[in-house]
Amino acid sequence: MIDPDGYRPNVGIVLMQECGRVFWARRVRRDGWQFPQGGMNSDETPEEAMLRELTEETGLSEQHVEILAATPGWLRYRLPRHCVRSNVRPVCIGQKQVWFLLKLVADESCVRLDGTDRPEFDLWRWVDFWYPLDHVVSFKRGVYERALRHLAPAARRLIDIPQEPVAEAGALASARG
């Protein structure tokens, strides 16, 4: 499903431990690490899509998490030109996402990356809340920054999440182009 502007509706998941560290996973057969995310079906709400993607990608279900916050609307990112499949109609130029902050309320041993026939991740770990900004693929950095900045106040209600220095984030973004 692609909207008229060329964006695929999608959800992103920031899964957080009670101590404030977040779930960070490596894509199967790739070097890239990211948060769980995935496309929405046309008959799903963002929350329904998030719960489905959570189960598909981490093996966790609704009973394992508590929803702490969500972005109020779509956050968009464009794909690099070499990732756009111009021979497929409609053409998808990027993704528009609703991001959710979830707190893990179960033991981390409930995480299972092999719960589907085609797992998306082959390795995972817990990282500091702001770590993904410097370690996600460059074309997703802006949407990750907007999502984490929006979700940080809800995270801070549970744990002292450090403030991301604005100057440092801006300097890093300009240095990377």
CB 38 within 8 A of CB 8: no
pLDDT for 89 equals 84
77 forms beta bridges with: 95
Task: State the DSSP string of 23-34.
Answer: EEEEETTSS-EE
25 forms beta bridges with: 34, 124
Q: Where are the domains of the chain?
A: 7-176
Residue type, 161: I
- Pick from 150, 56, 45, 64: nearest CA to 105: 64
Q: CA-to-CA distance for 132 and 141, rounded, in angstroms?
A: 8
pLDDT for 88 equals 79
Q: Is the dihedral of CA 53, 48, 128, 141 positive or negative?
A: positive
Q: In a structure prediction context, what are the per-residue pLDDT tens digits for the chain, which is 177 residues long?
A: 899 999 999 999 999 999 999 999 999 988 899 999 999 999 999 999 999 999 999 999 999 999 999 999 999 999 988 888 888 788 899 999 999 999 999 999 999 999 899 999 999 999 999 999 999 999 999 999 999 999 999 999 988 887 764 444 444 444 444
Could you tell me the pTM of the whole model? 0.89
Tell me the CATH number of domain 7-176, given options 3.30.310.80, 3.40.50.300, 3.90.79.10, 3.40.50.620: 3.90.79.10
Q: Going by C-beta distance under 8 Å and a sequence separation of 6 or more, which residues neighbour residue 163? A: none
